[in-house]
Amino acid sequence: MIPIASPEIGDPERERVLDVLDSGQLAAGEQVEAFEREFATRCGAAHGVATSNGTTALHAALHALGVGEGDTVVTTPFSFIATANAVRLVGARPVFVDIDPRTYNLDPGAVERMLRRRDDVAAVLAVHLYGLPAAMEELSALADEYGVALVEDAAQAHGARYDGRPVGSLGDAACFSFYPTKNMTTGEGGMVVTDDAGVAERADRFIDHGRTEGYRHAEVGHNFRMTDLAAAIGRAQLGRLDEAVERRRANAALLDERLAGTPVRTPAAPAGRRHAYHQYTVRTDRREALAEHCREQGVDTAVYYPVPIHDQPAYEGYDADAPTAARAAEEVLSLPVHPALSQHEIEQVADAARSFYAERAGAR
């Protein structure tokens, strides 16, 4: 079975981990500091704060931006639940608006209508879903007009660009995940990047029990720190991120070509947005049948995400006027696109999806 994801761990990662083990410095140390600098530079940002995972990165960033009790955060209902959970964890309330049907990212028009209606919005939290940058020019203009923070949830978008600028440099702060299935991994881990020294300082303090120095603590914080072991893996992964993203993009281009002319809707990539293809997500009104056909052909698939966040049991009482998100949740299907695929395997993925429609056309 061709898997939907396949983390690539090689000799460089193993060698760096062994160096850390030999050093005896396993917790946050020189490797974490170096990874923070290198990753922030890669994103075109001035500061990086490494965390234990992508959720804690979001939590720390929102806290550092002053989002808390009595605030609301405008965000998408079509994302992994961590996006909204981080808002609630700082004591704020997520307010969900609908998505663009082509990109699956926040609809700027829906964001503007919500900002016009409410005076308690502290931030807009935009997700670069599947690796495609959100409409950051429009969202940035809205954030400036209404005086709210703009935060990038870039958990799936390592290596993506918007008008030539890397994601991570487009808002007041950006948050990444290094979960094993992401475009690069540390096993588990996250990162906050920002140009604001104050935001970086507050995030750094918050993830270390509110520590200012030694055993002096200015606030109640958490232990959200990254280990040197994780950072060592991340530094090796970062060194080949560009290559990995280019392989994803080449695989996506082949899928686009092979699926042209079929009823399936392939991913959009608006002008000026460089898709990093964390997922290659198609849209079809025959999702279950297509997924079953692919399984029969030896190709794994997945649905990201089958239930909008506001319809989750944990979000009872959180309503949203988001029919586009609801329909997307019923129709999206992700096909393997990861860089570990051989040429033969990516062709097998394409042929499996294409043959589903060819067989049904021939049966008519």
User: Over the stretch 62-95, which tens digit does the pLDDT of each residue have?
Assistant: 999 999 999 999 999 999 999 999 999 999 999 9
User: 85 is written with which tokens?
Assistant: 């959970």
Distance, in Å, from the CA atom of 340 to the CA atom of 331, rounded to the nearest integer, reads 26
Distance, in Å, from the CA atom of 57 to the CA atom of 59, rounded to the nearest integer, reads 5
Q: Do 231 and 123 reside in the same domain of the chain?
A: yes
207 or 357: whose pLDDT is higher?
Answer: 207
Instruction: Give pLDDT, residue 194.
Output: 98
Give 361's pLDDT tier (boundaries 50, 70, 90): low
Q: Do 259 and 233 reside in the same domain of the chain?
A: no
Indicate the burial class of 6 (C-beta count within 10 angstroms; 0-12, 13-18, 19 or more). Answer: middle
Q: Do 25 and 156 reside in the same domain of the chain?
A: yes
Q: Do 80 and 174 reside in the same domain of the chain?
A: yes
Q: Do 231 and 353 reside in the same domain of the chain?
A: no
Q: Do 246 and 227 reside in the same domain of the chain?
A: no
Last residue of a domain, one of 211, 238, 265: 238
Q: Is residue 26 part of a domain?
A: yes
Q: What is the CATH number of the domain that holds 309?
A: 3.90.1150.10
First and final C-alpha spacing in the chain: 30
Q: Is residue 2 part of a domain?
A: no
**Residue 315 has what DSSP assignment?**
G
Are 225 and 27 in contact by the 8 Å Cβ rule? The answer is yes
Pick from 336, 269, 328: nearest CA to 302: 336
Instruction: Give pLDDT, residue 359.
Output: 66
Give 116's pLDDT tier (boundaries 50, 70, 90): very high
User: Over the stretch 174-184, which tens digit does the pLDDT of each residue have?
Assistant: 999 999 999 99
The chain-wide mean pLDDT, for the chain, equals: 96
Q: Is residue 264 part of a domain?
A: yes
Measured in residues, the chain has a length of 364
Q: Do 252 and 218 reside in the same domain of the chain?
A: no
Say what angle helices 343-363 and 287-296 make with each other, to 10 degrees: 120
List the Cα angle 97/313/96 in 5-degree steps: 10
Last residue of a domain, one of 195, 220, 238: 238
- Label residues 36-70 b or e (16+ Cβ within 10 Å = b): bebbbebbebebbbbbbbbbbbbbbbbbbbebeee
DSSP of 228-242? HHHHHHHHHHHTTHH
Q: Is residue 5 part of a domain?
A: no
Phi, psi of 75 (to 5 degrees): -155, -175
Are 148 and 121 in contact by the 8 Å Cβ rule? The answer is yes
Task: Provide the domain count of the chain.
Answer: 2
Q: Do 105 and 194 reside in the same domain of the chain?
A: yes
Residue 353 CA: distances (Å) to CA of 34, 298, 358: 43, 11, 9
Are 181 and 167 in contact by the 8 Å Cβ rule? The answer is no
Last residue of a domain, one of 198, 223, 238: 238
Highest mean pLDDT among 16-20, 22-26, 67-71: 67-71
Pick from 172, 176, 105: nearest CA to 140: 172
Is 18 a residue whose pLDDT tops 90? yes
User: Over the stretch 272-303, which tens digit does the pLDDT of each residue have?
Assistant: 999 999 999 999 999 999 999 999 999 999 99
Phi, psi of 61 (to 5 degrees): -65, -45
Distance, in Å, from the CA atom of 173 to the CA atom of 171, rounded to the nearest integer, reads 5
Q: Do 152 and 291 reside in the same domain of the chain?
A: no
Phi, psi of 208 (to 5 degrees): -125, 50
Q: Is residue 1 part of a domain?
A: no
DSSP of 184-237? S--SS-EEEEES-HHHHHHHHHHTBTTEEETTEESS---B-BPPHHHHHHHHHH
Q: Is residue 38 part of a domain?
A: yes
Q: Which domain holds residue 152?
A: 11-238
Instruction: Give pLDDT, residue 28.
Output: 78
Q: Is there a cis peptide before residue 130, judged by omega within 30 degrees of 0?
A: no
Q: Do 264 and 214 reside in the same domain of the chain?
A: no
User: 176 is written with which tokens?
Assistant: 């990444």
Q: Do 285 and 229 reside in the same domain of the chain?
A: no
pTM: 0.96
Q: What is the CATH number of the domain that holds 187?
A: 3.40.640.10
Q: Do 270 and 226 reside in the same domain of the chain?
A: no
Are 73 and 92 in contact by the 8 Å Cβ rule? The answer is yes
